Structure 1
Amino acid sequence: MSAPERWLVIGASGRLGRELCDALRGRGHIVAAPSRGRLDVTDRAAVARYLSDWAPDITVNCAAWTRVDDAERHEAEALRINAEAPRYLARACRATRSRLFHLSTDAVFSPAAGHPPRPFPEDHPPAPVNAYGRSKHAGERAVLEELPHRSTVVRTAWLYGRYGSSFVRTMLRHAAGQGTVRVAHDQYGQPTSATDVLCALLALADAPPARTTGVFHATCLGSTTWYGLAREVFRLAGADPDRVEPVTTASLGRPAPRPAWSVLGHDRWRELGVLPVRPWAEALAAFCRTEVSACCGH
């Protein structure tokens, strides 16, 4: 085993952050996971002080404004958390020579009209369709501008895991109940397990910084719709998939527009000689087996 490293995980109470901290401590690394009360990442001076005191080898930014619809009415606040705070972190990492892994999203993309859908490569020009996507794109630019030689933007999508709420866990609750559930059938993406994302982060950490700068996509392989995902969750939970009712995104009346296609490609991993993600259906089956067994007390 390699020597323990000092890691700083921002947003450690979230869906990915908690699993990442578990994995890092299991590997024997030294982990700082400050709460929002201990470190306000929108306070530039506080960020600089904290990193100077802790001197991490690697910083991971999992913190974000993720309320997509609310961002339409509070874009300035979303920008403070998703763009200004990452800039402060990148500057502090530059001063302390820490590597920075910054989590981003598939929502920075929108397919061009008239083009057949294909996975977006890492270097495809972003074109977000909502305020949340704009704020996350601004955060990506800030990180790569401030820390070009020691930063990695890691885009993921449709995330679920052992901690926190998620679409998958919501569908498991519906599957255990009665009645139908209405789910959009016209948005395509990649359901992704937090376990697969943390494995991707660990693979990046094991590689030299010079080979991991820029953008990587950490999503499970393949694609489906929210409707297809919900049906598969119901099937894995032993419920009738026909209880899932397909509807259009427009009929759900959400304030923020959603991209119809946000499937990501993984060419950068092939350059590293690594593909640390599974097909989405395989990852989902493993997760649902664990969740259903836990609910049933097995």
Structure 2
Amino acid sequence: MARILVVTHEHDRFLGRRDILLRRSSPYMLFDILAELKRRGHSVRVQQGLSTPFSADIAVLHVDATVTPTDYVDYASSFAFCLNIGAVDISKRRISGALVDRADSWQGQVIVKSNLNNQGIPETFLNRQSQRAGKPQLFPDMPVQEPYAIHESIGDIPQSSFDRADLVVEKFIPERERDGFAARFWVFCGDRERCTRYVSPKPLIKASETIRREPVPVPDELRSLRRALGFDYGKFDFVVHDGRAVLLDANKTPGRPSNLRRMFAAGASDLADGFESLIRGVR
């Protein structure tokens, strides 16, 4: 059995409030995997912040921010093996395969997004919690986050959007369906995975708002990208456009939508098998 340490930011909310039965919950998918690992006999500790260091056989760097702060990366590097130690920057400008610039020849629709993961909501939350604790903001000068905006062409975008470091412009290339739009979500941990194609009536596809879903294979180019981006555990959002897989988003701290938590929890056992394969690799 292994001693597992999950390193989260001191202001993160990895462990949510207790419910009426005094059971812990969490907005994160890793919570279900850890619960299964505990059931199998592994020791699991969540370290919130860096003030009290702990020892462990294997660590998980689980800081919910687009770019993990350097002090957390340095601390996580002190362990013999730490999951996602290479996946410390998941900004769109680094991971997206659909980026365009003002001189691009792309003729189709485009979408303007935040360069930050999840529209900068995690950074805004950490800033608020830090201020409540009487400390400086962790991410000062955060821009006001705007909703994603779809445009018919590059020429329809305000040219100032290309000059802003907090925004990116991407080709808008969801997989078109007769009754909506589709995108693919690949969840993985070690050598275990599931990849699902979701169809939604809305052009901005969320797993919680889909009308149907089906399992699909993982393209080889996505596996290569996973290795290059340093992911041991996480979720990739992608589409297949003109026969090629295009990565749109990479998440190192994937959540579990409230209306799909039962489904996500059901898959935790398989992902826990993947976690144990990583433990065996370390040993």
TM range (shorter): 0.3 to 0.5
More helix by share: 1
More strand by share: 2
**TM-score, structure 1 as length reference:** 0.34
**TM-score, structure 2 as length reference:** 0.36
